[in-house]
């Protein structure tokens, strides 16, 4: 059975259509595998080879990868939630209630969106501190560190704008306080608040503006900066590696002890 499926897959990979899509060719040679990365518009952000010691969980804790994972979950669930949500007062609240109680799996999708969002903030902060404590921000990676900060800001802004959308008490007052903070900036503060809310009060205009920011502008910015972030890993020489970290896993217990003694 399994052999049959493998045969079909091998046949599929040899078809003209398949080869027109995946231009790196087929097979499992080093060249083919390198081309699988290099010939793909998304994957070519990465280098074709990575240092083996950087694949260890201890090296990165996979925090950046996991942050990307939460972002992918958020995009998927977010698009689905948009299908049942109208950014208007007071329909927005009723729609969220409908998602909770009427729409099939609506409750689950909203839960997943909310918890993934919290996790993303947590992971982004963890990633920041992890990168710092490893010293991976040092040149030539300094600009990628800056892009990381920008991505953290985008993450926080996404959380903040998403917070208003259910139009419940928590949302309303969090946004009231938040927009009043911006109003305290000297000279331009009041204007900034007015533009942010599209009025003097947190109301329908504010909800619509936050909706557009949350669903279009900020995700697009996030995708753009994530791409640059990944591409920079390759351009800056791969994941940062500490010279003190062993190149190979210590093969045996006693051998490593001997090495330390020497």
Partner 1 sequence: MAEEKKTTRPETEQEISRRSFFTKMGLGSLGIASAGTLAFAYRFLSPNVLYEASPIVNAGQAESYEVNSVTLHVKSAIYLVRLPEGFFSMSAICTHLGCMTAWKQDLGIIACPCHGSHFSREGKKLAGPAPKPLPWLKTWLSDDGDLMVDRSIVIHPLQFLRI
Partner 2 sequence: MTEPKDFTAGVGSDIKKSQKRVLFVTRRTSAQVRVFDEERVQTYPEALFRAALAIELLTIALVLISLFFNAPLEGLADPTNTPNPAKAPWYFLGLQEMLHYFPPVVAGVLIPMVLVIALVVIPYFNVNIEADGLFLKNRGRRLNIFYAGAIGLSLFLWFFHVYVALIPTLLIVAIMLVAAFSSPASPQPLRRYLASKPVSWWVMTWFLLELIVLTVVGTFFRGPGWSWVLPWRS
Question: What part of residues 144-173 is at the interface with partner 1 (CB under 8 A)?
Answer: 173
CA 76 to mean position of chain CA atoms? 12
Q: Contacting partner 1 (CB under 8 A), which of 61, 93, 160, 194?
A: 194
Stretch that binds partner 1, among 71-79, 153-161, 190-198, 240-248 (CB under 8 A): 190-198
Among candidates 56, 73, 64, 72, which has minimal Cα distance to 126?
Answer: 64
Supply the minimum distance, in Å, between the C-beta of residue 162 and partner 1. 20
Kindly tell me which of 61 and 217 has the beta carbon lying closer to partner 2. Answer: 61
Indicate whether 185 belongs to the interface with partner 1 (CB under 8 A).
no
H-helix or E-strand spanning residue 35: helix 30-38
Token pair in block for residue 228? 């640059």
Q: How far apart are CA 36 and CA 24, in angstroms?
A: 5
Supply the minimum distance, in Å, between the C-beta of residue 201 and partner 1. 6
Kindly tell me which of 75 and 174 has the beta carbon lying closer to partner 1. Answer: 174
Q: Contacting partner 1 (CB under 8 A), which of 176, 217, 228, 238?
A: 176
Q: Contacting partner 1 (CB under 8 A), which of 29, 111, 180, 256?
A: 180
Q: How far apart are CA 48 and CA 64, in angstroms?
A: 18
Among candidates 153, 163, 144, which has minimal Cα distance to 124?
Answer: 153
Kindly tell me which of 40 and 182 has the beta carbon lying closer to partner 1. Answer: 182
CB–CB of 205/198 below 8 Å? yes
Among candidates 119, 115, 113, which has minimal Cα distance to 83?
Answer: 113
Q: Which of residues 196-235 bind partner 1 (CB under 8 A)?
A: 198-201, 203-205
Kindly tell me which of 15 and 201 has the beta carbon lying closer to partner 1. Answer: 201
Supply the minimum distance, in Å, between the C-beta of residue 44 and partner 1. 32
Token pair in block for residue 155? 């993450």
Task: Return the SS3 of 62.
Answer: coil
CB–CB of 204/90 below 8 Å? no
Supply the minimum distance, in Å, between the C-beta of residue 181 and partner 1. 6
Indicate whether 177 belongs to the interface with partner 1 (CB under 8 A).
yes
**Which residues of this chain interact with partner 1, rule CB under 8 A?**
173, 176-177, 179-181, 194-195, 198-201, 203-205
């Amino acid at each position: 059975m399994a052999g049959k499926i493998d045969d079909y897959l091998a046949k599929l990979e040899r078809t003209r259509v398949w080869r027109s899509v995946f231009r790196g060719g087929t097979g499992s040679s080093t060249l083919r595998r390198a081309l699988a990365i290099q010939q793909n518009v998304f994957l070519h952000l990465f280098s074709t080879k990575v240092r083996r010691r950087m694949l260890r969980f201890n090296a990165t804790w996979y925090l950046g990868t996991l942050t990307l994972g939460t972002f992918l979950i958020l995009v998927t669930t977010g698009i689905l939630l948009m299908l049942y949500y109208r950014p208007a007062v007071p329909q927005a609240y009723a729609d969220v209630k409908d998602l909770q109680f009427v729409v099939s799996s609506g409750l689950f999708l909203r839960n997943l969106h909310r918890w993934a969002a919290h996790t993303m903030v947590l992971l982004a902060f963890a990633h920041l501190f992890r990168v710092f404590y490893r010293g991976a921000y040092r040149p030539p990676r300094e600009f990628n560190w800056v892009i990381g900060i920008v991505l953290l800001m985008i993450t926080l802004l996404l959380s903040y704008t998403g917070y208003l959308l259910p139009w419940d008490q928590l949302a309303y007052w969090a946004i009231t306080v938040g927009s009043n903070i911006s109003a305290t900036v000297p000279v331009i503060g009041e204007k900034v608040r007015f533009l942010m809310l599209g009025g003097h009060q947190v109301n329908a205009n504010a909800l619509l503006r936050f909706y557009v920011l949350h669903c279009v502008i900020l995700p697009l910015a996030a995708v753009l900066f994530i791409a640059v972030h990944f591409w920079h890993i390759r351009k800056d020489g791969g994941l940062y590696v500490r010279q003190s970290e062993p190149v190979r896993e210590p093969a045996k217990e006693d051998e490593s002890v001997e090495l330390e003694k020497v």
